[in-house]
Amino acid sequence: MRARTLWESFGFAFAGLRYAWRTQRNLRIHGAITILVIALAGLLGFDPLRWAVLLLTIAMVWAAELFNTALEAVVDLVSPAFHPMARIAKDVSAGMVLLCAIAAVLIGLALFGPPLWALGARFR
Ligand SMILES: Nc1ncnc2c1ncn2[C@@H]1O[C@H](COP(=O)(O)OP(=O)(O)OP(=O)(O)O)[C@@H](O)[C@H]1O
């Protein structure tokens, strides 16, 4: 296979992101939540450590969803017909996304809870 330019490689990566965005409703939901939490973190004046944890958490959920999309495509390619192992592969992958989403909610509570509580206290 011939050597690619860096731009061509980025092009493939963006094509993958575009495909996942177009076909995966969950990813678009993550997109909306990502914009909301980044805006809220900005309003609350997150410190650098809070930003780092927030961005890592967002990346974790997006990466899990993208990996799940890639795995679904591979499973559909090798096993378009029903197969118990195909079901296991897809279910385990869905479990990974669920686990990451639950962790993200808990991390979100830890990150946003104290500053929101402190903000609320000023109005009580
Ligand atoms: N080839 C297959 N053989 C056996 N079971 C399958 C197969 N394809 C899908 N399934 C079952 O159907 C479920 C849903 O699969 P599907 O490919 O529709 O994912 P999805 O619901 O679109 O997931 P997502 O919402 O993450 O895109 C799987 O978790 C699995 O249990």
Per-residue pLDDT of 54-85, as tens digits, reads 999 999 999 999 999 999 999 999 999 999 99
Q: How far is the CA of 32 from the centre of ligand 1 (A)?
A: 24
pLDDT computed for residue 123 by the predictor: 86
Angle formed by the axes of helices 48-78 and 6-23, nearest 10° = 80
Q: At which residue do the structure tokens 């997006």 appear?
A: 62
- CA-closest candidate to residue 24, choices 100, 103, 97, 81: 97
Whole-angstrom distance, CA of residue 107 vs CA of residue 112: 9
| Residue 68, ligand 1, Cβ within 6 A | yes
Token code pair at residue 70: 């890639």
CB atoms within 10 A of CB 12: 10
- Average pLDDT of the segment spanning 93-114: 98
Question: In angstroms, rounded to a whole number, what is the distance separating the alpha carbons of residues 27 and 29?
Answer: 5
Atom 30 (ligand 1): residue with closest C-alpha? 87
Q: What is the ipTM of this complex?
A: 0.91
Catalytic residue among 46, 65, 97, 111: 65
User: Would you call 8 a catalytic residue per the annotation?
Assistant: no
CA of residue 73 to ligand 1 center, whole Å: 10
Q: What is the mean pLDDT of the chain?
A: 96
Taking the domains of the chain in order of start, what are their residue ranges?
6-122
CATH architecture, domain defined by 6-122 = Orthogonal Bundle (1.10)
pTM for the whole structure:
0.91
Q: Which residue, by CA, sits nearest to atom 14 of ligand 1?
A: 90
In the chain, the amino acid numbered 90 is K
Residue at token pair 């009580």: 124
- Sign for the pseudo-dihedral over CA of 123, 47, 101, 69: positive
For ligand 1, say whether the CB of 70 is within 6 Å of any of its atoms: no
Q: Which two tokens stand for residue 33?
A: 């939540």
Tokens of 18: 């575009």
pLDDT of 17 reads 98
pLDDT exceeds 90 at position 92:
yes
